[in-house]
Amino acid sequence: MRKIFIISAIIFAVLGIVFTILPLGTIAFLPIGIAVILSFLALQKSKHNQGKLPKLILFISTLTLLVVMGKVVFIKDVVVTDTQFELKKEESKKEDIKDLEGL
Protein backbone atom coordinates (compact mmCIF):
# COMPACT_ATOMS: atom_id res chain seq x y z
CA MET A 1 0.00 0.00 0.00
CA ARG A 2 2.86 2.34 0.90
CA LYS A 3 4.47 1.73 -2.48
CA ILE A 4 1.20 2.52 -4.30
CA PHE A 5 0.89 5.77 -2.33
CA ILE A 6 4.50 6.71 -3.16
CA ILE A 7 4.23 5.91 -6.90
CA SER A 8 0.90 7.76 -7.19
CA ALA A 9 2.29 10.70 -5.20
CA ILE A 10 5.30 10.92 -7.55
CA ILE A 11 3.02 10.85 -10.65
CA PHE A 12 0.77 13.61 -9.26
CA ALA A 13 3.75 15.66 -8.05
CA VAL A 14 5.29 15.54 -11.55
CA LEU A 15 1.90 16.42 -13.04
CA GLY A 16 1.70 19.30 -10.56
CA ILE A 17 5.11 20.61 -11.66
CA VAL A 18 4.07 20.39 -15.35
CA PHE A 19 0.79 22.23 -14.58
CA THR A 20 2.74 24.88 -12.65
CA ILE A 21 5.03 25.50 -15.62
CA LEU A 22 2.07 25.66 -17.99
CA PRO A 23 -0.20 28.70 -17.51
CA LEU A 24 -3.04 26.60 -16.15
CA GLY A 25 -3.61 28.76 -13.08
CA THR A 26 -5.61 27.22 -10.24
CA ILE A 27 -6.01 23.89 -12.07
CA ALA A 28 -2.49 23.05 -10.86
CA PHE A 29 -3.91 22.87 -7.31
CA LEU A 30 -5.66 19.64 -8.25
CA PRO A 31 -2.65 17.32 -8.92
CA ILE A 32 -0.57 19.11 -6.26
CA GLY A 33 -3.30 18.63 -3.64
CA ILE A 34 -3.56 14.94 -4.50
CA ALA A 35 0.26 14.59 -4.34
CA VAL A 36 0.29 16.23 -0.89
CA ILE A 37 -2.44 13.88 0.43
CA LEU A 38 -0.82 10.76 -1.07
CA SER A 39 2.67 11.62 0.16
CA PHE A 40 1.24 12.32 3.63
CA LEU A 41 -0.52 8.93 3.61
CA ALA A 42 2.72 7.27 2.44
CA LEU A 43 4.53 8.96 5.31
CA GLN A 44 1.96 7.61 7.77
CA LYS A 45 2.45 4.09 6.40
CA SER A 46 6.25 4.36 6.52
CA LYS A 47 8.35 2.98 9.32
CA HIS A 48 10.72 5.30 11.20
CA ASN A 49 13.63 4.80 8.76
CA GLN A 50 11.46 4.85 5.55
CA GLY A 51 10.18 8.39 5.67
CA LYS A 52 12.80 10.06 3.48
CA LEU A 53 11.10 9.69 0.06
CA PRO A 54 7.53 10.60 1.19
CA LYS A 55 8.97 13.62 3.00
CA LEU A 56 10.81 14.69 -0.17
CA ILE A 57 7.61 14.39 -2.28
CA LEU A 58 5.67 16.28 0.41
CA PHE A 59 8.32 19.04 0.41
CA ILE A 60 8.35 19.35 -3.42
CA SER A 61 4.54 19.35 -3.58
CA THR A 62 4.27 22.04 -0.88
CA LEU A 63 6.88 24.12 -2.68
CA THR A 64 4.97 23.77 -5.99
CA LEU A 65 1.78 24.74 -4.14
CA LEU A 66 3.44 27.95 -2.92
CA VAL A 67 4.70 28.74 -6.44
CA VAL A 68 1.18 28.34 -7.88
CA MET A 69 -0.30 30.50 -5.09
CA GLY A 70 2.35 33.16 -5.80
CA LYS A 71 1.58 33.06 -9.53
CA VAL A 72 -2.17 33.38 -8.89
CA VAL A 73 -1.72 36.33 -6.51
CA PHE A 74 1.11 38.27 -8.15
CA ILE A 75 0.97 37.58 -11.89
CA LYS A 76 -1.83 39.53 -13.55
CA ASP A 77 -3.49 38.43 -16.76
CA VAL A 78 -2.36 40.87 -19.43
CA VAL A 79 -2.44 41.05 -23.19
CA VAL A 80 0.82 42.30 -24.64
CA THR A 81 0.72 44.90 -27.39
CA ASP A 82 1.15 42.93 -30.58
CA THR A 83 2.64 45.45 -33.03
CA GLN A 84 2.22 43.09 -35.99
CA PHE A 85 -1.46 42.63 -35.16
CA GLU A 86 -1.96 46.37 -34.68
CA LEU A 87 -0.25 47.12 -38.00
CA LYS A 88 -2.39 44.52 -39.75
CA LYS A 89 -5.51 46.14 -38.26
CA GLU A 90 -4.51 49.59 -39.53
CA GLU A 91 -3.86 48.29 -43.04
CA SER A 92 -7.12 46.35 -42.96
CA LYS A 93 -9.02 49.49 -41.98
CA LYS A 94 -7.57 51.46 -44.92
CA GLU A 95 -8.60 48.64 -47.24
CA ASP A 96 -12.10 48.58 -45.67
CA ILE A 97 -12.58 52.31 -46.29
CA LYS A 98 -11.65 51.77 -49.95
CA ASP A 99 -14.22 48.97 -50.16
CA LEU A 100 -16.86 51.12 -48.45
CA GLU A 101 -16.20 54.01 -50.83
CA GLY A 102 -17.04 51.65 -53.68
CA LEU A 103 -20.40 50.64 -52.24
Residue 102 backbone class (left: φ over 0; alpha: ψ -120 to 50; beta: rest): alpha
Measured CA to CA, the distance from residue 25 to residue 102 in angstroms comes to 48
Q: How far is the CB of 19 from other proteins (least distance, A)?
A: 10
Interface pick for other proteins out of 4, 89, 90, 91 (rule CB under 8 A): 89
Q: Does 99 bind other proteins (CB under 8 A)?
A: yes
Task: Give the burial class of 62: count Cβ atoms within 10 A of its Cβ; 0-12 exposed, 13-18 middle, 19 or more buried.
Answer: middle
Site mask for other proteins (CB under 8 A), range 34-53, x = bound: --------------------
* 1 vs 78, beta carbon nearer other proteins: 78
- Which DSSP state fits 48? G
Interface pick for other proteins out of 4, 66, 75, 87 (rule CB under 8 A): 75
Contact 86/39 with Cβ under 8 angstroms?
no
Contacts with other proteins, residue ranges (CB under 8 A): 22-27, 30, 75, 77-80, 82, 85, 88-89, 92, 96-97, 99-101, 103
